[in-house]
Structures are given as structure tokens and as C-alpha cells.
Amino acid sequence: MSEKEMVYSLLETLPSYKMGYVLAYLQGLTAEIPNEVTDAALREAEAFKTDPGSYKRYSSFAEAVADIEAGE
């Protein structure tokens, strides 16, 4: 019996009220894995939480945009 067939067999014996748990678990397994850019942004956000003082702060949105336009 293949693993897929074993899963189907087990699902047939599972009570209906537990199907939501199985569904949530399977959806978690098939969730999209972040690409490199997203992963880097998530790591940077974590680093910011541990040491926010090492990042530049802006007093206005216009100041941030000016930095972006200047290439900083």
C-alpha cells in the first residue's frame, strides 16, 4: 500500500469533527515558501526588533522618500 493510499484509508476512519484539524495541517504543509527577497525582508524585520537603534529613522514620509530618491 502506498503512503497516499494509507492516508486515504486513515481519512476514511477519521470522524468528521476532526477533518478541520487535518485540513489545517495539510494546508500548512502546502503553504508557499517565501522566495529569497521575502526571506531577507523577514530576517531584516527580526533584526530590527532586536536592535532598532541600528536602523535609520525618519521624522516624515517626505524625508524617507528623499533618501530613496537620493539612492541612500
Percent of the residues in the chain that have a pLDDT greater than 70, as a whole number: 99
Report the C-alpha gap between 28 and 36 in whole angstroms: 20
The residues spanned by each domain of the chain are: 1-31, 36-70
pLDDT digits over 37-70, tens only?
998 999 999 999 999 888 888 999 999 999 999 9
* Three-state DSSP class for residue 14: coil
Evaluate if residue 32 carries a pLDDT over 90. Answer: no
Evaluate if residue 33 carries a pLDDT over 90. Answer: no
Evaluate if residue 19 carries a pLDDT over 80. Answer: yes
**31: DSSP letter:** S
Residue 34 and residue 26 in contact, taking contact as beta carbons nearer than 8 Å: no
Q: Average pLDDT, whole number, for the chain?
A: 91
Model pTM score: 0.41
